[in-house]
């Protein structure tokens, strides 16, 4: 229990995860959980994990065990060291000698869809800090056989400077137990045969206040290798800030997104009948549920690129029926590997992807204008566009005749355009029949002019000549043209 109390947060999380317990929470929560675990489950496996974490935390505390090494037991040295003279003695666990590379040798790196491991050139080996400096240099040595060198040299090029067969360097955590993902240490730099090689940089962040994230993927060191049986030396510069890291070197075959899509198309296609059964299971009536679902709407637009889906794809472990485009999904993960479902944000590994056979048939049978469908309880489907059109027809306003306010003028000017009513009758017909029924509106008159015009019509010709001479000239409209020439469209 004293050992557990001295653990760091990462050590406590490792211990709890190895025993199947939750590793979330603050440090005092983790310590209490770990102490209760020690009190309730006093098992050899738990003791082994506690000792291993404690000895990695305080390596000097187990130095007294070196005096108890049985005679004749050889001491193995790691192939990873910072200097030719730097060696690591054998550690002991429960009185049994343990190789210095054993913790790293137990690390298993996660398999990557775009990389197929052909051979292991250097197994996972822990990066050992040789002093208290924050920046450490660790060197690993490996060799290629003549067959491996020829395999790399004669491989095809995926693009200029990138071969299909590569030698890659992978780095991961060694703190936790289980399958590890690639994880770079701080201040990483990789130098192969005295030449620095390219390490993927950071992704730019578009959100304010969010730090850019670095993609952790295998580092291609092929261009800097001796493609012969000569010895290759790789030096990893890393920041020593309390985390433990392991490095490994593999000979791999690199796939493109097109090759992965070909594998998916030939090996993982769910039949249309199986998809219908899945739909019927989802829509089956549940007597315990008060609300019955009669249909499920599914969009035919890919949530990734907002375009019509070409090859519908789903994740077998996801509960939804919504698909996304398989080609775009693989291309995006080739550039930026996240492997998460674009619909529900759950993990979407390549091994669990499948092509939806029913959705493929629907995309072939429907027009490109249809963007949404609905699955019914019997496994059938219907497009949503027809229903929208019926709703639009039901919501149409009643027909009203359109009044034609334009008639052909008698002054020789061109007649106004006549509008057609919704009843199918053209205004041109009424125009041809004469001026009856048409109304001419003078848009240049204001209210004062209308009053004067009405007053003038009432007086008629009763005004004498003097009044007509003394009265001012009649006002014209706002615009400098005749009133009778104005046409309303």
Q: Which pLDDT score, from 0 to 100, does residue 408 have?
A: 54
Q: How far apart are CA 316 and CA 124, in angstroms?
A: 32
Kindly report, residue by residue over 178-195, the tens digit of the pLDDT.
788 899 998 899 999 989
Q: With a cut of 50, say whether residue 368 has pLDDT above it.
A: yes
Backbone angles phi, psi at 51, to 5 degrees: -60, -45
Q: Are strands 108-109 and 179-180 parallel, antiparallel or unpaired?
A: parallel
Kindly report, residue by residue over 222-245, the tens digit of the pLDDT.
999 999 989 999 999 999 888 889
> How far is the CA of 324 from the CAs of 206, 304, 335, 348, 480, in angstroms?
24, 7, 18, 12, 64
- The answer to whether the CB of 303 falls within 8 A of the CB of 329 is no
Q: With a cut of 60, say whether residue 56 has pLDDT above it.
A: yes
Q: With a cut of 80, say whether residue 427 has pLDDT above it.
A: no
| Percent of all residues in the chain with a pLDDT value above 90, rounded to a whole number | 38
Backbone angles phi, psi at 273, to 5 degrees: -65, -40
Q: What is the pTM of this model?
A: 0.58
User: Higher pLDDT residue, 47 or 314?
Assistant: 314
> How far is the CA of 134 from the CAs of 59, 129, 137, 242, in angstroms?
18, 9, 10, 10
Kindly tell me the number of DSSP H helices and DSSP E strands found in the chain: 14, 22
- The answer to whether the CB of 16 falls within 8 A of the CB of 23 is yes
How high does pLDDT run on average in the chain?
75
User: Higher pLDDT residue, 75 or 126?
Assistant: 126
Q: Which two tokens stand for residue 46?
A: 């738990």
> How far is the CA of 5 from the CAs of 22, 34, 348, 443, in angstroms?
18, 9, 38, 93
Q: How far apart are CA 461 and CA 458, in angstroms?
A: 9
Q: Which pLDDT score, from 0 to 100, does residue 287 have?
A: 62
Least confident stretch, 48-57, 60-69, 187-196, 283-292: 60-69
Provide the CA 183 distance to its chain's centre, in angstroms.
20
Q: Are strands 269-270 and 353-356 parallel, antiparallel or unpaired?
A: parallel
Q: With a cut of 60, say whether residue 403 has pLDDT above it.
A: no
Q: Is 391 helix (H, G, I), strand (E, B) or coil?
A: helix
Kindly report, residue by residue over 243-266, the tens digit of the pLDDT.
889 999 999 999 999 999 999 999
| Percent of all residues in the chain with a pLDDT value above 70, rounded to a whole number | 64
Binning pLDDT at 50, 70 and 90, where does residue 303 land?
Answer: very high
Q: Which pLDDT score, from 0 to 100, does residue 435 have?
A: 44
Best-predicted range by mean pLDDT (12-21, 176-185, 318-327, 432-441): 318-327
Least confident stretch, 2-16, 383-397, 474-488: 474-488
Q: With a cut of 80, say whether residue 364 has pLDDT above it.
A: yes
Q: Which residues pair with 173 in a beta bridge?
A: 245
Q: Which two tokens stand for residue 215?
A: 């993609």
Looking at residue 340, the DSSP 8-state letter turns out to be B
Best-predicted range by mean pLDDT (40-49, 320-329, 380-389): 320-329
**How wide is the angle at C-alpha 89 spanned by C-alphas 84 and 90, nearest 5°?**
140
Helix axes 257-267, 326-335, angle to 10 degrees: 140
- The answer to whether the CB of 173 falls within 8 A of the CB of 183 is yes
Q: Which pLDDT score, from 0 to 100, does residue 442 have?
A: 61
Least confident stretch, 66-80, 176-190, 280-294, 386-400: 66-80
Complete edge-to-edge strand list for the sheet that includes strand 189-192? 80-81, 135-143, 231-239, 189-192, 195-196
Q: How far apart are CA 396 and CA 388, in angstroms?
A: 13
Q: How far apart are CA 226 and CA 429, in angstroms?
A: 92
Kindly report, residue by residue over 131-152, the tens digit of the pLDDT.
888 999 999 999 999 999 999 9
Burial (0-12, 13-18, 19+ Cβ within 10 Å), 144: buried
Kindly report, residue by residue over 213-226, the tens digit of the pLDDT.
777 899 999 999 99
Range 465-487 average pLDDT: 53
Q: Which pLDDT score, from 0 to 100, does residue 11 have?
A: 82
Range 65-70 average pLDDT: 39
Looking at residue 150, the DSSP 8-state letter turns out to be H
H/E segment holding residue 9: helix 9-18
Q: Which pLDDT score, from 0 to 100, does residue 407 have?
A: 52
Q: With a cut of 90, say whether residue 342 has pLDDT above it.
A: yes
Burial (0-12, 13-18, 19+ Cβ within 10 Å), 177: middle
Binning pLDDT at 50, 70 and 90, where does residue 61 land?
Answer: very low
Cα dihedral angle (339, 341, 345, 349), rounded to 10 degrees? -40
């Amino acid at each position: 229990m004293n050992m557990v109390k001295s653990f760091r947060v990462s050590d406590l999380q490792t211990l709890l995860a190895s025993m199947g317990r939750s590793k979330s929470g603050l440090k005092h929560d983790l310590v209490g959980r770990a102490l209760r675990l020690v009190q309730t489950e006093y098992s050899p496996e738990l003791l082994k994990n506690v000792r291993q974490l404690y000895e990695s935390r305080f390596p000097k505390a187990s130095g007294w065990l070196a005096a108890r090494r049985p005679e004749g037991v050889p001491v193995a040295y790691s192939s990873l060291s910072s200097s030719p003279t730097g060696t690591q003695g054998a550690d002991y666990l429960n009185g049994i000698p343990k190789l210095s590379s054993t913790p790293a040798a137990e690390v298993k790196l996660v398999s990557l869809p775009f990389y197929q491991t052909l051979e292991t050139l250097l197994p996972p080996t822990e990066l050992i800090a040789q002093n208290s400096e924050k920046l450490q240099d660790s060197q690993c040595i490996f060799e290629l056989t003549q067959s491996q060198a020829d395999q790399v040299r004669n491989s095809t090029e995926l693009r200029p400077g990138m071969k299909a067969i590569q030698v890659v360097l992978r780095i991961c955590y060694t703190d936790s137990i289980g399958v590890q993902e690639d994880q770079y240490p701080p201040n990483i730099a990789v130098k192969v045969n005295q030449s620095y090689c390219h390490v993927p940089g950071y992704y730019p962040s578009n959100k304010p206040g969010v730090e850019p994230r670095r993609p952790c993927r295998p580092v291609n060191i092929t261009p800097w290798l001796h493609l012969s049986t000569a010895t290759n030396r790789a030096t990893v510069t890393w920041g020593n800030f309390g985390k433990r890291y392991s490095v490994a070197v593999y000979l791999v075959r690199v796939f493109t997104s097109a090759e992965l899509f070909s594998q998916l198309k030939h090996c993982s296609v769910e039949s249309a009948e199986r998809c219908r059964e899945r739909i019927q299971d989802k829509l089956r009536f549940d007597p315990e549920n008060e609300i019955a679902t009669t249909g499920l709407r599914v969009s035919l637009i890919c949530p990734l690129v907002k375009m019509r889906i070409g090859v519908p794809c789903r994740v077998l472990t996801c509960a939804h029926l919504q698909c996304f485009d398989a080609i775009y999904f693989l291309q995006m993960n080739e550039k930026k590997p996240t492997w998460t479902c674009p619909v529900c944000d759950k993990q979407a590994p390549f091994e669990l992807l499948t092509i939806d056979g029913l959705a493929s048939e629907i995309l072939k049978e429907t027009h490109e204008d249809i963007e949404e469908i609905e699955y019914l309880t019997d496994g059938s489907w219907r497009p949503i566009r027809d229903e929208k059109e019926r709703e639009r027809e039901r919501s149409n306003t009643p027909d009203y005749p359109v009044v034609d306010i334009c008639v052909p003028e008698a002054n020789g000017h061109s007649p106004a355009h006549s509008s057609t009513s919704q009843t199918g009758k053209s205004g041109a017909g009424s125009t041809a029949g004469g001026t009856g029924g048409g109304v001419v509106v003078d848009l240049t008159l204001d209210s004062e002019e209308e009053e004067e015009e009405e007053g003038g019509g009432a007086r008629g010709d009763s005004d004498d000549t003097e009044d007509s001479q003394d009265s001012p000239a009649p006002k014209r409209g706002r615009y400098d043209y005749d009133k009778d020439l104005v046409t309303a469209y």
